[in-house]
Amino acid sequence: MPGFLLHVGATVICSHGGQAMPTMPNPRVKVGGQPVVPQPAPYTVAGCPFATPGGPLPCVTAMWVTGAVRVKAMGIPVLLQDSQAITVPNGVPVTVLVVQPRVKGM
């Protein structure tokens, strides 16, 4: 499915509301003046409030499972608005809330 490309300024959260940020954006390819994010780059999650009866168990990272099929930056697939990721250690998905509205990929 086509979707807008994810960039550094995109708003991505874990299912519990923690803010996810890319760790390795591509510095050479930009959309809206901000670097795009390649698929292999994990996201770090900050501020996840999830806790169990045994204590806090926040989401720490998000690993992307899917990315663009046809759009690549420096030979690596980029992330799209509809790309799927799973958080570690909880295994819940992330939600992409806000992306740039100009460049779509597939």
> What is the chain's pLDDT, residue by residue, as a tens digit (106 residues)?
689 999 999 999 999 999 999 999 999 999 999 999 999 989 999 999 999 999 999 999 999 999 999 999 999 999 999 999 999 999 999 999 999 999 999 9
Q: For the whole model, what pTM was predicted? A: 0.92
Structure tokens at 71: 């759009």
Contacts of 105 (CB under 8 A, 6+ apart): 2, 3, 4, 5, 68, 70, 71, 78, 80
Structure tokens at 65: 């499972």
